[in-house]
Chains A and B, each alone.
Chain A
Amino acid sequence: MNRRSRSVGVLATALTVTLALAGCGRDDDSGSGGAGPGVTDDPCPNAVDDSKGCIYLGTITDLTGVFKGVGEPFTAGQKAFWDEINKAGGVGDYEVDVTRHVKDSGYDPEKHAELFNEIKDDILAVSQSLGTAHTNAILEDATNESILIGPASLGSNWIFDDISIEVGSSYCTEAMNAVDYAADQGAKSIAVVHFPGDYGDDAMVGARIAAEERGLKFTDVPTGTVDGGDDQSAAIGAVLKAKPDYVIIATGPKEMASVVGGTAAQKFTGKFIGSIPSWNAAVLDSPAGPAIQALYMQASSFPTWEADVPGMEKMRAAAGDTAPNDWFSIGYSSGYVMKAILEKALEDDKLDREGLVDVANSLTGIDSEGTLPEGTANWAGDPNDDAVRVTQLNKVDPKASSKISLAVDPFTGPTAENYEFTEPCYLMK
């Protein structure tokens, strides 16, 4: 053998060994020894009990983009939930891992889809997929492969999908309830300041439907692009011109602060009700803080951080020193849904992808120990049975650790109560 062919031989051998080792490693990760992809008889990394197998759940979220303020705490909340469950013995003969396959989309739908393809062979289900358009980008693939998805998004579209295990009221329903509340307070006119796109349009359409039902004057005020910064002078001008009694606001916290602060600085005294993503306690430290405290309420279907229910008590204990954050709490609470599905799948001997989808679609509800709104996880019926329709209003409360507290108990307004969903609200803009 000459020197050249000997080198080639050594290289080929090295490649073969490397590929073989790589193959072995992947099998270990993806759980070839278990019931299917994402389920392994081998223990999880950092397992509490090495004798248990591991269920891998994927996360595709935003850790560096415009919604990293949602993605980071949501992911931490889910980890806290499963850490507690694993410490308490896991689910059947398995512990659950939500840390190995965490991917950062930077809030880019295309990247989101790429990352899903990267992890899909190694996971049983997706415990968090942040963003409506982003989750829509993977929906077809996930449906084809029967991969259950937990959307970290409250679009009104999820009730129409069998593989989606959404929690909470949609932005559309939230806005309907907010407008019904405004009408009950004597409002004659409303405006909706909202991002363009699924989130903002979902809220706008919900508010418009309710305004028509209640006979209120309606003004639509779209803002600039989602990451366009916080120069909201156009929205501020439009609100001041329309002079509505109530403003429904479906933007990020920065834009909300700009609009509330900017209008209040020009003596606007109407009230604001914001969708869940419009709130972040940090806005109270901004110059708009006093105006927000005086004029703003948050619409949500989830209990506040301090809520006196067993699940939230456990969540607070699991959070430890973590600063109170709605998204941490919702991430934690969403774990109850996946846990219920996994337990039922084990009970029915269906711990594989198709089995999980079957089980999810047979549920009529779960026990979330008070962390999730009434009506969550009722996926056995038609989409209108799935839709959670309850909303509570939270006021700014500097004394509360999360800076908000319950102002109006959970309610379902007449518009949301009677509305029949036939398509996602945001498609009707």
Chain B
Amino acid sequence: MTQLLGAVAGGIGVGSIYALLALGFVIIYKSMGVISFAQPAFLLAGTVLVTYLSPEIGFFPALVVGSVAIAGVALVVERVAIRPMVGKAVFVIAIITIGIDIIVRIVSGMFVGSDQRTVRDPWGLDAWEVGGVYVEQRDLAAFAVTTVLVLALFAFFRWTPIGLAMRASALDQEAAMAQGVNVGTVFAVSWALAGALATVAGVFAAAGRTVDQNHWHIALLALPVIILGGLDSLGGAVLGGLVIGITQQVVTTYHRDWFPGLDTNIGSITPYLVMLVVLLVRPYGLFGTREVERV
């Protein structure tokens, strides 16, 4: 039982990181109707930047400065490479985000160097033992920060003018424009938010570990999360993140008992198996908007 609870605790930590990543994807999707494949690059760039800032100004200030900086980078990318393409096929914009991802990732990777880097977080590998269950502090920290950010995001969308404008734009872009909503600002803010969220997710994914040029791989796990939660559901992204994280950690932990004949741990592919099942059974996800086709 302690093993299961330990896996669940780890899953909540990892799931929180997935949730932050998925939120970035969902925010852009809701504003533009496009899945941005540039999120992994923003994650890597933000994390690498924090590894440089953290020794100079401390972990938390570095996290804030790094997030703001990558939000700025995302703003520039949106203005230069995405905005001119608005109105073009969604497929074309998605391909452009892949190009942006490759460029930003390669440039960021150049700053990693030969040795692994660290974000110098205050938790490291420290753990609390609660009733025989080891709960890592970094997992609790990731969960706490995600909770705060999710509440802040929901408040932002509920009560701020730009948040309301983003919701209106997501519901019906043309109607929103007719009501005076500046859709360009909505696009810009959504990219900036996604860039900042990717940075926070990347930094917590690096807590207690080291960062190398493959650190962006974790961002791919956001895809099963948004498929599970629903492409346009913020709540779905949070819940989907936690479900995928916990499922993955439990399978990883029990793989050797459940599949003794399999050399390769299937924990790493579990999120994609979940994604496959969801696509087959409920393609719009748990909380996504079901597409209505009139014939």
Contacts and interface: CB of A to CB of B under 8 A. Distances in A.
A1 B159 CA distance: 80
A223 B252 CA distance: 11
Interface residues of B, number: 34
A72 B218 contact: no
Contact of B267 (A234, A258, A285): A234
A254 B114 CA distance: 12
A196 B268 CA distance: 15
A288 interface: yes
Contact of B218 (A222, A229, A253, A262): A229
B40 interface: no
A234 B209 contact: no
B10 A233 contact: yes
Interface in A242-294: 253-254, 257-258, 261-262, 264-266, 280-283, 285-288, 291
A196 to B, nearest CB: 6
Interface string B124-155: 11110000001010000000000000000000
Interface string B252-263: 110110000001
B182 interface: no
A228 B221 CA distance: 13
A73 B209 contact: no
A285 B118 contact: yes
A383 interface: no
A41 interface: no
Given A286-B210, A287-B208, A233 B116 contact: no
Nearest to B218: A229
A147 to B, nearest CB: 29
B115 A287 contact: no
B114 A229 contact: no
B160 interface: no
Interface of A is mostly: helix
A230 interface: yes
A68 interface: yes
Nearest to A223: B265
A261 B125 CA distance: 7
Interface in B202-253: 208-210, 212, 214-215, 217-218, 249, 252-253
Interface in A60-97: 66, 68-69, 72-73
**6 closest cross-chain pairs (CB), A and B:** A287-B124, A282-B115, A265-B125, A261-B125, A234-B252, A234-B265
Given A196-B264, A258-B209, 5 more contacts: A222-B263, A223-B265, A231-B252, A237-B256, A261-B124
25 contacts: A66-B212, A66-B214, A68-B114, A69-B114, A229-B214, A229-B215, A231-B252, A231-B268, A233-B253, A233-B267, A234-B255, A234-B256, A237-B3, A237-B252, A237-B256, A254-B116, A254-B209, A264-B125, A282-B115, A286-B116, A286-B210, A287-B121, A287-B123, A288-B124, A288-B125
